[in-house]
Structure 1
Amino acid sequence: MKDAVDQLTPMGVMVLALLREGDMHPYEMVRLMRARRDDRLLTITNGTLYHTVARLQRAGLLDEVGVDREGNRPERTTYTLTDAGVDALVGWLRRELSRIDHPSDFRIALAEAHNLERDDVIESLRLRRNALVDAHASHRDGLAGARTKKVPEQVLVEFERQEVLLEAELRWLDSLLTRLEAAAFPWGPRAFENTDRYLAQRKAAQQ
């Protein structure tokens, strides 16, 4: 399972997460990703998505469940998520939520974190918090030391920015953890899949 997790790309993660919502064909995947503005997280092209689907199928993370055609439209192959695909998705999300050295992958993991159980998310984010505390302390102390040594401020602006961003993320993360630990905060894919908005979005993407 570790190899499958290591080989997953951000697009692969998005595809597996979509299939966890239900069986669908690549055309529907593309339309859903664009409707949900996932293009703010990664570049979405038909070619990249179809290539990703083929690679995930070869890896045994998804499988075909049927081919259909409506009217004069091209044939559409519908795919389903395998048990290995679920395991790879969950493993990747747990890993990337907890680490602070892959900021772009963290955005993907956070967008798809609802595919994990609440306790899994809390555990992974607490690991992330520990790493952020250490990184923030390192930047803060490094800046203080540099200023004591009269290092010119103009060469410290990037360190200063990073220290501020780390402090801000810690505040945001503490707020999120507080919400996650509250039973009143809905969590998980089942928390929204039957809403009118979700069902309408799925129907529109299937057209």
Structure 2
Amino acid sequence: MSDYVDRLSPMGVMVLALLREGPMHPYEMMRLLRERREDRLLTLANGTLYHAVAKLAAAELIVETGVDRDGNRPERTTYALTPEGDETVAAWVRRELPRIDRPASFRIALAEAHNLDRTETVALLRERRAALEAEADDIARMRCDADARGSEPQYLVEIVRQQALLTADLAWIDRLLDDLITQAYPWGVHASA
């Protein structure tokens, strides 16, 4: 597997993941990213997309498969995923999905988790859940210690917020795990095809 996984940008992850669906040109990639509202996760700009495509091609994670022209439109180069590119996106998702210290990367890993099989996704999310639970326990201890010392509530506002967020995140991940385990919906790149 490529060492490129460590240098993969969020846009690069999204491009590789799109190409797991089949060959396409950057214009189609941008259309799909916008249609799927991926602008919630990263800034969508043509320049950024074309730069990511060029870097992925230089790293041999994607390859040109042809150039076509439709009417008066400019030529469009179509790209496909290489086997190394396929493994790189999966490796990136595997690395980021269980982590709790990089929220922006987690959101992208979650959006692309369908690139892993259901069983592996469940295992990685269980890892994440265990880390979240450990953090929730630490925060609860901090709050108890602060309360025992007589700390004023105004100084604990952030701790109380963090407890609420962790409680919500744990409840959400439990529901997601249940849905994945009970196979409440199709899973995988081509599951809906």
| AA matched with 2:107 | R
Aligned match of 1:55 = 55
Aligned match of 2:146 = 146
Distance 2:107 2:184 in 1: 24
Query: Shift of residue 159 of structure 1?
Result: 1.3
Does 40-49 or 173-182 show the bigger shift? 173-182
Do 2:5 and 2:89's aligned partners in 1 also have CA atoms closer than 8 Å? yes
Tell me, which stretches of 5 or more residues in structure 1 are unaligned?
Answer: 194-207
Aligned length: 193
Aligned match of 2:118 = 118
| AA matched with 1:103 | P
Determine if the alignment matches structure 1 residue 67 to structure 2 residue 67. yes
TM-score for both structures, normalised by structure 2 = 0.97
**Structure 1 moving runs of 4+ over 6 Å:** none
Distance 2:154 2:2 in 1: 44
Query: Shift of residue 7 of structure 1?
Result: 0.8
Determine if the alignment matches structure 1 residue 81 to structure 2 residue 81. yes
| AA matched with 2:44 | I
Aligned match of 2:8 = 8
What is the aligned-residue RMSD (CA, Å)? Answer: 1.1
Distance 2:113 2:176 in 1: 12
TM-score for both structures, normalised by structure 1 = 0.90
Tell me, which stretches of 5 or more residues in structure 2 are unaligned?
Answer: none
Aligned match of 1:203 = none
Deviations 1:157-193 (A, max 9, x none): 1111011111111111111111111145321122212
Aligned match of 1:186 = 186
Aligned match of 1:196 = none
Query: Shift of residue 144 of structure 1?
Result: 1.1
Distance 2:74 2:132 in 1: 49
Query: Shift of residue 152 of structure 1?
Result: 2.1
Do 2:56 and 2:62's aligned partners in 1 also have CA atoms closer than 8 Å? yes
